Structure 1
């Protein structure tokens, strides 16, 4: 009896070719997973790298300006060379419980989640650690994905860095105008003085400009910005009990 060999249908690949394609797909999938994990873990590694005081981190916005060939103005300044009135004003404006929480103000965060579930407009609950890791590793804009990445980064950063180091990094990467980053560049650009020489009024104006530094010009404040600055100025003058983690 003659044995007729099985003929492949047109377009059918040999078994060996299918096996090679599967191996190639598995290899590419592993590489993609490893690349994705590396990207996700890199910020956590950098948190430990940034423990060292002589390393001066840059933000994602600063990197963007470099890529777009726009450049930026940032002059790193040590924490002890920043006027305490500026630190007080920023804390009272951005994160009054900075010394008390572990990177995330869970009480405020719970209120935001409840408002979102009820369909109400959410209020801001970003702490200084959350804003710092966002500036260093993430992107602007409201996104549950970004917030989900931001929370654990803020907790780890707050655990690894001292409060002084956290505040030092934040004040040196925060945006204070188009291409203006860090408190030294901001103080010189808006008021013509160093960060160490800021007055209480100037400090309050810079603090209230932080939520929207492009539209809020600390050097040329409108009536609304001046009114907010007056509130922060009063709070900062009574902030002694809130800043014990920064000044002994």
Structure 2
């Protein structure tokens, strides 16, 4: 039992050391690819389509302030206040789901970034535990500005389209550097299901969400970055 205990201790030490270094590395180096990008690429091949990963990185100071505001207003309005987890939003989402209203699980931008960069898609308790762990790490080692920068550059925004720059070029024919308030809100409105919804063909529901995001953007005021 003592040998087993020492083995577990060594494994945990290596796990914490490797993951700490991994997260710290991506504080300074942009993640080149994610598990989801690879998975979607293979899914396209299975469907008889060509391999497709459209992405183009923009640094934080190059991204439109409208887009930064829209992302926070639409995905995580308390992003600047919490430490990775918005427990009130999670509780609200749980209560609505219990009543039969299918809503998102209240994941913050930090949680979504941790999942996108370091983990695989899924809903198991094990993956959720890893998500929580990596969320804490990026909050400690990256800070809000880097988290939002990475989020806006790796998130899935369409079929084979990842990050705001590739999405803006594809949907609006312009760089994410000059995205208007209306375009930014429309792009964020489709994020819950970018494979189903398209900002160039918005439904009445997407227009409704766009309006909510624009109102939240006005309430946010100026961002610190």
Given the two structures, how large is their TM-score scaled by the length of structure 2? 0.82
Matched with 2:206 is 225
- Does the Cα contact within 8 Å between 1:57 and 1:173 map onto a contact in 2? no
1:145 to 114, 118, 126: 126
**In 2: Cα distance, 1:207 partner to 1:193 partner:** 16
Higher Cα radius of gyration: 1
Matched with 1:62 is 37
Asked if 1:201 is matched to 2:182, the reply is yes
User: What's the CA shift for 1:108?
Assistant: 2.9
Closer/same/farther in 2, CA of residues 199 and 44 from structure 1, 3 Å limit: same
Q: Structure 1: any 5+ residue segments left out of the alignment?
A: 1-25
SS at match of 1:51: helix
- Does the Cα contact within 8 Å between 1:57 and 1:136 map onto a contact in 2? no
Aligned length: 212
- Does the Cα contact within 8 Å between 1:57 and 1:169 map onto a contact in 2? no
Q: Structure 2: any 5+ residue segments left out of the alignment?
A: none
Asked if 1:51 is matched to 2:35, the reply is no
Matched with 1:87 is 68
SS at match of 2:157: coil
Asked if 1:129 is matched to 2:110, the reply is yes
**In 1: Cα distance, 2:125 partner to 2:195 partner:** 24
Q: How does 1:1-248 map to 2 (within 5 A)?
A: 42-52=18-28, 54-65=29-40, 70-110=51-91, 115=95, 120-121=99-100, 123=103, 124-240=105-221, 243=223, 246-247=224-225
Q: Deviations over 1:198-218 (max 9, x none)?
A: 111100011111111111101
Closer/same/farther in 2, CA of residues 190 and 42 from structure 1, 3 Å limit: farther
Given the two structures, how large is their TM-score scaled by the length of structure 1? 0.75
Provide the alpha-carbon RMSD of the alignment.
Answer: 2.9
Matched with 1:7 is none
